[in-house]
Structure 1
Amino acid sequence: MRVTIEKTEKDGKISLQESGGFAIVTINRPELKNALTNRMWNDLKEVGKRITQNPKNKVVILRGKNKLFTSGSDLKQFNHLSIEEANDAFRIMEEAISTFERLPLPTIGVINGPAMGAGFQLALACDIRIGTPNTRMGMPVGRLGITLNQSFARRIADLIGKSRTMDLVYTGRLLKPYECYDLGLINYLLDDDTDVNHYAIELGKKVMEQSPASLLAVKKALSFSNPTISIPWETGLDNCVDAFDFPEGVSAFVEKRKPNFKRR
């Protein structure tokens, strides 16, 4: 097992734990609802890039410390920034978010708390999201004079549509857990008695049982509908089956056993 910690100001940190095929990324600044500073966003981007350098990593889990995800960016820092510096800060956020969005691996977000603003965007960059009774999601940017760029707006609209996206920005309201689930913003809604981190690990193990070629192909194929996403791996999309995984998958089905897919 390898654990990497990126230190940031006021003890906020981004940690990466790599073990058993998992790359587990944790946002750790619970005293401030895991709000990310510019430095933390940059650390998050670098951690995301590092994940692909370890060929043993098969599934990524992104989570926040304690019963939190992230409330988004640390807004206090913006009080000391010029307009140019604020725009640069949003560019850094987008780079970090898109780094996880473009990972050529399945990503699972553990949304065990508020995911607001840029934190909401980071949650939507994950392929699958697990929610709990603590989940809250929203885009309360209207009171701050923040204007959403195309990437930010499209991530939301692709899931819930144009009108609902406008409603979130127009009203600044936060969605309750059942609303998030009904709208497809979270894939699984757990109860208080379920350990969300254990659930995420078990879900990740189930994902690992699937053909890596199939997983990557669907991620690549769906990215075509969104020009802001570009998965940097070739998948052989001209073919409908993988030369290695397809014969093994069919054999395993006929023989009533688990497939032993080729790990890349």
Structure 2
Amino acid sequence: MRVTIKRTEEDGNILLQESGGFAIVTINRPALKNALTNRMWNDLKAVGKRIIQNPKNKVVILRGKKRLFSSGSDLKQFNQLTIEEANDAFRIMEEAISTFERIPLPTIGVINGPAMGAGFQLALACDIRIGTPNTLMGFPVGRLGITINQSFAKRMIDLIGKSRTMDLVYTGRILKPQECYNLGLVNYLLDDETDVNRYAIRLGKKIMEQSPASLLAVKKAVSFNHPTVTIPWETGLQSSVDPVDFPEGVRAFIEKRKPNFKK
């Protein structure tokens, strides 16, 4: 059965296909590098919750349309938001990302293209990631005045460590396919000759051969040993954007220039 949350091509949509034990989720906005709006993040969260309501689903595959994963959140949208609305947008995207992170099923991320910013975080929320020659990963938030929350930082630290996490934010550099594999950001790195979607299906079928109890147990055990401790959004103790740097960073992105941050 195919379920589609319908939108125009420009608006983008989230596709869900459930068949043969698979729940295949596709971010569909290739014209804008699969950048997600607030509405798409909410749709993604709803799809994640829907997946666990179907007992036939055994493995989740998360991918982007065409040779893309996701460039993250739609920054043009942020240019129209107040600081309070921007912080609320980060809360929404974290809810969507953590929904997939906590799905009690094995999740496979097909990173057949750029995974940037919040798209990078969404990729890291998957249990296993498959990379290709098109894979690029990065977290260049420093050019935007984004002050990342603890959940975002922890996902990176768990995989690549504290120093490399700080390096990615400090420099804004983008990691190429082999670097992603060497750092453990992708578990498998395919060549041009291998169809990544077919490979993901084969990997998913192999996972389905394992004991469901064992799969759930290891997911719970990993979560227990690496609890995510976050400052509640409601407390106001942590903002996801700087009130001065963030508006300037977004304007600079829209205007295709270097940001002029106040020193």
Q: Pick 1 or 2: higher relative contact order, CA cutoff 8 A, min separation 6.
A: 2
Deviation for aligned residue 1:224? 1.0
Q: Distance in 1 between matches of 2:79 and 2:28?
A: 23
- 1:262 aligns with none
CA contact (8 A) 1:8 1:40 kept: no
Q: Distance in 1 between matches of 2:182 and 2:211?
A: 29
Regions of 4+ moved over 3 Å: none
Q: Distance in 2 between matches of 1:53 and 1:26?
A: 18
Q: Distance in 2 between matches of 1:117 and 1:133?
A: 19
- Which secondary structure does the structure 2 equivalent of 1:224 belong to? helix
Q: Does 1:172 align with 2:169?
A: no
Deviation for aligned residue 1:6? 1.3
Which residue type is aligned with residue 228 of structure 1? T
TM-score by length of 2: 0.85
- Which secondary structure does the structure 1 equivalent of 2:225 belong to? coil
- 1:73 aligns with 73
CA contact (8 A) 1:8 1:39 kept: no
Q: Does 1:43 align with 2:43?
A: yes
Paired residues, what number?
228
Which residue type is aligned with residue 162 of structure 2? K
Q: Distance in 2 between matches of 1:62 and 1:35?
A: 15
- 2:52 aligns with 52
Q: Does 1:185 align with 2:181?
A: no
Q: Distance in 2 between matches of 1:31 and 1:169?
A: 27
- 2:14 aligns with 14
**Residues 139-172 of structure 1: CA deviation (Å, up to 9, x unaligned):** 0000100001000000000000000000000000
CA contact (8 A) 1:139 1:174 kept: yes
Deviation for aligned residue 1:100? 0.2
Deviation for aligned residue 1:8? 4.1
Q: Distance in 1 between matches of 2:117 and 2:27?
A: 16
Q: Distance in 2 between matches of 1:135 and 1:158?
A: 20
**Residues 42-85 of structure 1: CA deviation (Å, up to 9, x unaligned):** 00000000000000000000000000000100000000000000
Which residue type is aligned with residue 129 of structure 1? R
Q: Distance in 1 between matches of 2:144 and 2:21?
A: 41
- Which secondary structure does the structure 1 equivalent of 2:5 belong to? strand
Which residue type is aligned with residue 185 of structure 2? L
Q: Does 1:5 align with 2:1?
A: no
Deviation for aligned residue 1:106? 0.2
- 1:259 aligns with none
**Residues 103-160 of structure 1: CA deviation (Å, up to 9, x unaligned):** 0000000000000000000000000000000000010000100001000000000000
Structural mapping, 1:98-117, within 5 Å: 98-117=98-117
Which residue type is aligned with residue 22 of structure 2? F
Which residue type is aligned with residue 26 of structure 1? T
Gapped runs of 5+ residues in structure 1?
Answer: 230-264
Q: How many percent of aligned residue pairs carry the same amino acid?
A: 84
Which residue type is aligned with residue 59 of structure 1? V
- 2:159 aligns with 159
TM-score by length of 1: 0.85
- CA RMSD, aligned part only? 0.9
The structure having more radius of gyration, on CA atoms, is 1
